Structure formats: C-alpha cells, structure tokens
Amino acid sequence: MFKPGYFHRDFIDEECKRRQIEAKFSFETNLLPMILSIVKHEYAITALLELVTEHEPETRGISFEPPVFVDLALAWRKDGYLSRADRSFIDFIKKQM
C-alpha cells in the first residue's frame, strides 16, 4: 500500500474510518514497481488505478462500487522551458476540457 499522503492510501483510510474497520498494512512504500512485485508474489493486495492493472497481465483489478474518480492536473515548472511538443500537448489538453 502507498504511504499516507497518496490518494490511494488516503482513500482507503477514509473508507475504513467511514465503515469503522481497521486496515492492517503489511508493506508501505511509494514505489509502484515494489507494490506490483509484492502483489504478483501474492504477499498482499492493494488499491491501484485501473490504468496500472490493465497493463499488468499477472494482476487482476476489480473496480470499487461505486466507482472512484480522480481529478488529475498538468504541472510544469513556472518559468521552465517547454518544448514545442510540451506546448502542443498542453494546448491539446486545454481544448479537450
């Protein structure tokens, strides 16, 4: 499981609190490859984005009911260099909103 402060962990902590149950975490890390390795070796289960599990043939994702949605944002350094590709991508995303 991710450490506190990450969306996945905070969501699980809030759900446990709401349902008045205590979660027991065997592993805490912010390293996605380590989390996937632990799951693939069947040491634990965890909460991950569907985007991650759909590309991992050795894992199986089951959606929460009701579904959980995440708001994402683009970020870049305020006065940093943006390549032409970066600017094009930002413009594309802005047009989709």
The pLDDT confidence band at residue 17, using thresholds 50, 70 and 90, is very high
% of residues, the chain, pLDDT over 90 = 59
Q: Is the pLDDT of residue 83 over 90?
A: yes
Q: Residues near 8 by Cβ (< 8 Å), separated by ≥ 6?
A: 1, 2, 46, 47, 48, 49
Question: pTM higher than 0.85 for the full model?
Answer: no
- Rounded to a whole number of angstroms, the distance between the first and last alpha carbons of the chain is 32
* Structure letter (DSSP) for residue 67: -
Over residues 28-71, the pLDDT tens digits come to 999 999 999 999 999 989 999 888 888 899 999 898 888 888 88
